[in-house]
Structure 1
Amino acid sequence: MRRFFGGGAAGQESELSDASKARFTAGLGPDYVVVKHGKKNLRVDFAASGDIASGSAKVGDVRATTARTLGLAKSQITLIYAGRKLKLDSDSLAKLGISSGSNIMCLVSRPQQETKPNGSEENRVPHHSHHHHPHPHAASHEQRELKKELTSFEKIDKIVLEAQKELVPMIEEYVASTPTNDQGNKYRLISELILRRMFALDEVDTHGDPEARKHRKEAINMFHQYQSRVDEALNAAQV
């Protein structure tokens, strides 16, 4: 089964089987999802109409194609749909409620630096009989790098990534086993953390960029979805 990022109709037809071409000509076209990364809307096409509903389209297919197109490792790609992190590559899109035409948010993390074993050539510090004095310009360059301003997109993604690491596990645990006797203390804590991140997103200056505003709105909507999940879990526990 071929999977690729499509553009115009001609590009799609050149990669499809005869059966898929017939579906495309009939106006059905192959199943697809749209991966949204910053200003980019990356369309992932599957081989035929019905691939998603049949369960043959997997999270791993989307992650691998996204990574390949962006020139990154799969481990750097975080996919989010309806406020939920798509963790398992083996999960089918249909199982997660994803249908053809759905939008999936993509966040990119920095690659992990390889650690060298002790005693390796890279970790050995040369011995000098005299003190080494760094060039004054080297320090100022490092300071400039530390103070480098993040773009609006990077600030938004940073807030979302931090939430994925810290907040989402709390939400998943709460939804899986909602306490009925803590008088809403955990609910209030999670709701406050969600609200803080929404405030942080609201404070991101998009500098009038409509794409950045759209990206920020999508991130805020994701936190609204988090809150809805928590609300639904609390209401179900109180029935």
Structure 2
Amino acid sequence: MSIQVNNLTKSYGRQKALASINFKTQSNHIIGFLGPNGAGKSTTMKILAGILPFDQGECTINGINIKLDPLKAKKRIGYLPENNPLYQEMYLQEILAFEARLHQIPNSLHRIQEVISLTGLSTEQHKKASQLSKGYRQRVGIAMAIIHDPQILILDEPTSGLDPNQILEIRTLIKTLSTNKTVLLSTHIMQEVEALCDEIIVLHKGIVKDHFLKSEAAVKFPNQNMEEIFVELTKN
């Protein structure tokens, strides 16, 4: 259950967002996808989720080429964008039922209850999206992303704007989900990388600056914490 990117290039007019980037993730890892604002993280994630076209290169999800077989690839992907879009006047169960229909999930009522329980939404399941706190709205977004049990989960800053308790709860949920999924996670919180990630990719100005296992960090970057490593790789 891996993601592979080869010579991926994307430009917005004259602005090159991604300059022929390459990486391959390992299976069932949480991959920290790091970089300053404007590095190209969200662009890459949207491309991998199959919602943004790219100029050149190749992206595969578990060996499935996104460009050649987009529907098959998308069935294996769950995506939570940075700005979590929810239907504010719909009840939580309605949102998940709608998402289940889109994915043509058999026995959807059972799967909806399973996902509600997994994401810790049981006490909130009879509320509208507009009545939920931001932490619970993020949980709904994750529930929508996993309703079809994808093998790859792409999460764009899932803890942004949450309070410390909510952050810890979402981290625990992500850790639970990673037992049978590969999770690509973008974040600006280096403590989150330390707490969650098995693998780290650092992107800067549309270029992969480094890609390493967190277990190798102490040898590769002696006497440096994750924040110092990030600054070193993105200072120029």
Using the size of structure 1 for normalisation, the TM-score is: 0.24
Pick 1 or 2: higher relative contact order, CA cutoff 8 A, min separation 6. Answer: 2
- Normalized per residue, the structure richer in strand is 2
Whose radius of gyration is greater, 1 or 2?
1
